[in-house]
Amino acid sequence: MELLGKNYLKVEALSKRFGDVCILSDISFSVAKGEFVCIVGSSGCGKSTLLRSLSGLDTAYEGRITVDDQEVKKPTKHIGYIFQENRLFPWMTVEENVGFSLDSGTREEKRRKVSEAVAMVGLKEAVRQYPKTLSGGMAQRANIARTLVNKPEVLLLDEPFGALDAFTKINLQEKLCEIRSAEKTTMIMVTHDIEEAIYLADRIIILDKNPGVIKKIIKVDLPRPRDRNGNYFNDLRKEIYGYFFETKEIVEDYNI
């Protein structure tokens, strides 16, 4: 995929404190339009805090965040956010959950948008089901569809597959690649899974902690679809793991 607009999303000198504790310090990077960036780091390094700032959910920080030269000051439908938990309304069907955030258009237009979003994640046969009848993977697909229905320009994902089994996770990774290819959406994902980051990302941002700073940004120069067992894939995995061997705490956090 050709990457356009190197500075489509910009983070400039972002710092975040909780009281006397500095969580993020002087974070600066840019993301191209249509690029997929993964953020990895040990627990407590500020990954999710950074993602909340990018979404506009948290604006109590120093620095500046812009998307297409517009400063992010509050949540908008142009920036979608997918949490680790599906957060579906249990009293609504899949179809009703996906269409909940649509506040403009005729009934037919809304129905069409919901149908497109549900089809995109492969849930056409489950539109009348309620969340309690869905598997974990199906519920997360519905969660993704609910965010995609508004056609966000930027999609932020906070460990969306972290609670799923390995086979379901791989299936949803493939689905995410398909969505990104079809929609050309700019995606930024927080993950603890280094293999997942290598498989999905164009670039990987490694965060250190105490305070959270950018330790390294790695370009993933691999063709798609990617071979998880290829030599370069494994070499890159070893390289990234190497950045987490500096303290026993980090090694244990990654179960190395």
CATH at residue 160: 3.40.50.300
Is 120 inside a domain boundary?
Answer: no
Q: In the prediction, which pLDDT does 162 show?
A: 85
Is 85 inside a domain boundary?
Answer: no
What is the phi/psi pair of residue 29, to 5°? -165, 165
- Yes or no: say if 200 and 177 are a contact pair by the CB < 8 Å rule: yes
Q: In the prediction, which pLDDT does 254 show?
A: 42
Residue 168 has what DSSP assignment? H
Structure tokens at 42: 């040990």
User: Which residues of the chain register pLDDT less than 70?
Assistant: 1-5, 245-256
Structure tokens at 107: 């009934």
Name the residue range of residue 40's domain. 1-78+155-165+185-221
Query: Among residues of the chain, what percentage have pLDDT more than 70?
Result: 93
> Which of 197, 122, 102, 217 shows the shortest CA–CA distance to 157?
197
CA distances from 46 to 25, 144, 208, 224, 253 (A): 10, 23, 9, 30, 15
DSSP state string for 227-255: -TTSHHHHHHHHHHHHTT-SSHHHHHHTT
> Which of 215, 179, 183 shows the shortest CA–CA distance to 200?
179
Per-residue pLDDT tens over the stretch 120-139: 998 999 999 999 999 999 99
Is 234 inside a domain boundary?
Answer: no
Q: In the prediction, which pLDDT does 101 show?
A: 84
Residue 65 has what DSSP assignment? E
Q: In the prediction, which pLDDT does 218 show?
A: 95
Q: In the prediction, which pLDDT does 256 show?
A: 36
Q: In the prediction, which pLDDT does 246 show?
A: 57
Q: Tell me the CB-side half-sphere exposure of residue 231, using CA atoms within 13 A.
A: 0
Q: In the prediction, which pLDDT does 232 show?
A: 92
Domain count, the chain: 1
Q: In the prediction, which pLDDT does 81 show?
A: 94
Is 26 inside a domain boundary?
Answer: yes
Q: In the prediction, which pLDDT does 27 show?
A: 96
Q: In the prediction, which pLDDT does 43 show?
A: 86
Is 21 inside a domain boundary?
Answer: yes
Is 123 inside a domain boundary?
Answer: no
Q: In the prediction, which pLDDT does 185 show?
A: 94
Is 40 inside a domain boundary?
Answer: yes
The answer to whether the pTM exceeds 0.85 is yes
Is 134 inside a domain boundary?
Answer: no
